[in-house]
Structure 1
Amino acid sequence: MKKITDYEHKKILVLGLAKSGIAAASLLHELGAFVTVNDQKPFEENTAAQSLLEKGIKVICGSHPPELLDEGFELIVKNPGIPYTNPLVSKAMEMNIPIITEIELAYRVSEADIIGITGSNGKTTTTTLIFNMLEEASKNPLIAGNIGTVASEVAMKATSENQMVVELSSFQLMGVDQFKPHIAIITNVYEAHLDYHQTKENYAEAKANITRNQTEDDFLIVNADQEELLELVSFSQAELIPFSTVRYLEKGVSIKEGKVFHFGEEVIGLRDILLPGKHNQENILAAIAAVKILGVGNDAIKRVLATFQGVEHRTQFVAEVNGRRFYNDSKATNILATKSALQAFDQPVVLLAGGLDRGNSFSELVPHMSGVKALILFGETADKLEEAGREAGIQSIYHVDNVEEAVPLSFNVSEPGDVVLLSPACASWDQYKTFEVRGNIFAQAVHKLKQSQ
């Protein structure tokens, strides 16, 4: 860790705890700052706040009072989930108090180069692929950010021998100042998180912050199939490395005649890649572009791609049961993600879907349901999804109470060679605390089914 003096004797407010707030407060305290932590959860229920108090850090809990700013803070480190419309945050902006997120701290203290990955879809898979490929090639990677350990906590332990592979959200990237990854990746940009960003333009601009401070000595890897994305980052000073799944790029990473090429060199055949789907091809191309910069050879890349089954809950292969292949895509909490999952398979699909009703229809799914032979539906949106299924011409549609009931039924209505896909197109909160819980219940039911056959 770099021993910086930027924060020494400065009054700094850490707003919101969770993992990133705890790590930020601890790091700033170690760097000599006068830290105050403010968290909404009451102190008596807040074990994190209690542990920070024991370190000598000032703690204020129960609410986010705007008058707290009267104490004269020179900097705020904000939890990414707290919106800028929060009254305390709004007042801080009016007072011109700088507001950053914890990823900025990680950058400033890290001795390791950072590989930053952002985008609407594919961040976690791309991040994991890069980490696995670097690890396979003995490049000493560390994984951090939205996946794995909080970035500043990892940065405290990183040395110049490491590579920090960091998944980054638009929320985090809104709060950067000097942050500059050596390698930046934007997988794609679609309309998302409008409740936080208000407009797609604001959301896209936040994503573009990943390359804002890059220089000609850095690298920017982008999806060349999105013209608007190329325009968005046209200001970047970094060396641009494009990737494409639809056209061959002599200078970039792309696919031709069933093979992946990196700047004209064949890397791997698509048939040798275990991970299914065109959307995952984008993630694979982006990962190859990144690791090639760091000297990873084709053999290491091939070994990873021949065995990588997917990130948990993201089109993850669970098991094969009497010729049916079961996939867990519980992370598909919106229509766009389920579209991508359906496009991943050429085989007939039994689709398990449903969940929280956010008021939208599912007509956008209809053109992508041509390969769906049966629908098994649950949750608040079951009736709406049935309407979409009928419109798509699907004859076999069933309603069940939950995911656990859906699994044995899916086996009974499928045949060897079929895919059974949990891709709900909805959030889980009507029945399950998180999409992870929903996915785990699905996987457990699949393994129970396999044991019974």
Structure 2
Amino acid sequence: MKTIESYQKKPVLVLGLAKSGLAAAKLLNKLGAAVTVNDMKPFEENEAAKELHELGIHVVCGSHPQNLLADRQIEMIVKNPGIPYSNPILLQAADQGIPVITEVELAYEISEADILGITGSNGKTTTTTLVYEMLKKDGKNPLIAGNIGTVACEVAEKAKSDQVIVMELSSFQLQGTLSFKPSAAVILNLFDAHLDYHGTRDAYAQAKGKIYENLTSADAAVINADDKEVCRLSEETQGTKFYFSVKQKLDHGAFIHEDAIWYNEERIIAVNEVVLPGKHNLENILAAVSLVKTRGCSNEAICSVLTSFSGVIHRLQFVRTLKDRKFYNDSKATNILATSKALEAFDQPVILLAGGLDRGNEFDELKPAMKNVRALISFGETAPKLEKTCRELGIEVINRVDNVEQAAGAAYELSEAGDVVLLSPACASWDQYKTFEQRGDMFVRAVHKLE
């Protein structure tokens, strides 16, 4: 960890705990800051707050006091990424010019290792995992962090200068950055997402675009040549540009040509040798190839991963085959685009299991991808909307259930040999489940109980 003096005795508020807030508070305390933590969960029920209190950190729980900034003379706020900027304390901070960051900014400030930053509307986890596995196979001793599950500042605290941190980044995390600068960065794609948080698509895009903002010519900006909005966001970056495309042959970058994956003038591997399912994953693979090539990764390491890596948990995760029915867990598909991509990965008849949190949208954009859907098992708040979409397409087999466990059984009852049973909800999980991981785990357990 780099030795930095800028936080010595600085009054800093950590707003919101969970994993990132707990890690940020501990780190700031080590850096000598005068740390205050504010969390809505009452102290007597808040194990993280109790842990920080034992370290001598000032903890305020159960509410967001309006006078907290003044009373503690706060000069900086580190906020939990999920807390919206409409929070009263954050509105006060904006009025008073108090900087607000997320913990990935702290991770950058203390990290001795370079950071490879990966963001986008879809494919982040798959691409992050591919990059990590390729670099690991090549002996480069990478670390993995960020939105993929490991708090970035915890990883950065232990990282050495000869390592590299592969970091998945959400728009929530990136919006709270100031000087954050990866040595290589990619925006995979941009589609409507998290508009309830950001307010507008432009605000969402600008948050994603911050990943390119501080790059210098010594850094790599990896760009999806097929996505006009990503290209627009990359226009002003000072980073050296590297491209990838599934649609066109490139003079410089990763692309598909003659049914093979190429990088510049090197043919790396035939597409049919790649085991990761789904046409959409070719985009993630090309982005990963471009990123690891900026680190000098060998073609042998890339090929080894692409011929063995079959996907990440909850993202088109193959669960099992039962009486010639194949079951897939795609619980991480929390929006229409992700479910569209999953459906397009299969030529077989599909029984689609979908539904979840109602964010006010309809599902008309899902229709073009539903040509192979022969039945719907719906659940959650959006069940009526999804059923309406299916009826409009002439899909007659529709069954509403209470949860994903029931959905697994109902789908098996309806299925025939050769069918794909696909949990791909097209919605967030929060109407019924704490996380998409919990939703997916419950589905997987239910599938394994089927006989």
The TM-score normalised by the length of structure 2 is 0.95
CA distance in 2, matches of 1:79, 1:431: 22
Measured after TM superposition, the shift of residue 63 of structure 1 is 1.4
For the 8 Å contact 2:193–2:335, the answer to whether it is kept is no
1:37 corresponds to 2:59: no
Measured after TM superposition, the shift of residue 433 of structure 1 is 3.5
| 5+ residue gaps, structure 1 | none
Equivalent residues in 2 for 1:139-158, closer than 5 Å: 139-158=140-159
2:433 is matched with 432
Measured after TM superposition, the shift of residue 412 of structure 1 is 4.3
Structure 1 residues 365-399: Cα deviation after superposition (integer angstroms, max 9, x where no partner):
22221111222223343333222222223243333
1:12 is matched with 12
The TM-score normalised by the length of structure 1 is 0.95
Measured after TM superposition, the shift of residue 437 of structure 1 is 2.1
2:444 is matched with 443
1:355 is matched with 356
Partner SS, residue 248 of structure 2: coil
For the 8 Å contact 1:245–1:278, the answer to whether it is kept is no
Task: Pick closer, same or farther for the CA change 1:145–1:190 going to 2, 3 Å.
Answer: same
Q: Match of 1:128, as an amino acid?
A: T
Equivalent residues in 2 for 1:47-446, closer than 5 Å: 47-70=47-70, 71-446=72-447
TM-align CA RMSD: 1.7
For the 8 Å contact 1:36–1:59, the answer to whether it is kept is yes
For the 8 Å contact 2:11–2:33, the answer to whether it is kept is yes
**Structure 1 stretch 412-421 or stretch 433-442: which is displaced more?**
412-421
Q: Match of 2:99, as an amino acid?
A: P
Task: Pick closer, same or farther for the CA change 1:351–1:22 going to 2, 3 Å.
Answer: same
Measured after TM superposition, the shift of residue 108 of structure 1 is 0.8
Q: Percent identity at matched positions?
A: 60
Q: Match of 2:333, as an amino acid?
A: A
Task: Pick closer, same or farther for the CA change 1:271–1:416 going to 2, 3 Å.
Answer: farther
Partner SS, residue 307 of structure 2: helix
For the 8 Å contact 1:366–1:391, the answer to whether it is kept is no
Measured after TM superposition, the shift of residue 434 of structure 1 is 2.8
Partner SS, residue 66 of structure 1: coil
For the 8 Å contact 1:111–1:158, the answer to whether it is kept is yes
CA distance in 2, matches of 1:352, 1:5: 53
Structure 1 residues 218-275: Cα deviation after superposition (integer angstroms, max 9, x where no partner):
0011211111211111000101111111112121111122211111211112211122
Q: Match of 1:389, as an amino acid?
A: C
Q: Match of 1:38, as an amino acid?
A: N
**Size of the alignment, in residue pairs?**
450
CA distance in 1, matches of 2:276, 2:124: 15
For the 8 Å contact 1:253–1:262, the answer to whether it is kept is yes
CA distance in 1, matches of 2:329, 2:53: 41
Q: Match of 1:188, as an amino acid?
A: N
Task: Pick closer, same or farther for the CA change 1:444–1:29 going to 2, 3 Å.
Answer: same
Structure 1 residues 167-195: Cα deviation after superposition (integer angstroms, max 9, x where no partner):
11111111112110001011111122122
Partner SS, residue 374 of structure 2: strand
CA distance in 2, matches of 1:379, 1:193: 19
CA distance in 2, matches of 1:173, 1:145: 11
Q: Match of 2:201, as an amino acid?
A: K
Task: Pick closer, same or farther for the CA change 1:390–1:174 going to 2, 3 Å.
Answer: same
CA distance in 2, matches of 1:383, 1:31: 52
Partner SS, residue 339 of structure 1: helix
Measured after TM superposition, the shift of residue 364 of structure 1 is 2.1
Measured after TM superposition, the shift of residue 411 of structure 1 is 3.4
1:23 corresponds to 2:31: no
CA distance in 2, matches of 1:279, 1:117: 17
| 5+ residue gaps, structure 2 | none
Measured after TM superposition, the shift of residue 418 of structure 1 is 2.8
Measured after TM superposition, the shift of residue 287 of structure 1 is 0.7
Partner SS, residue 386 of structure 1: helix
Q: Match of 2:312, as an amino acid?
A: V
Q: Match of 1:347, as an amino acid?
A: Q
Task: Pick closer, same or farther for the CA change 1:334–1:277 going to 2, 3 Å.
Answer: same
Partner SS, residue 303 of structure 1: helix
Task: Pick closer, same or farther for the CA change 1:441–1:250 going to 2, 3 Å.
Answer: same
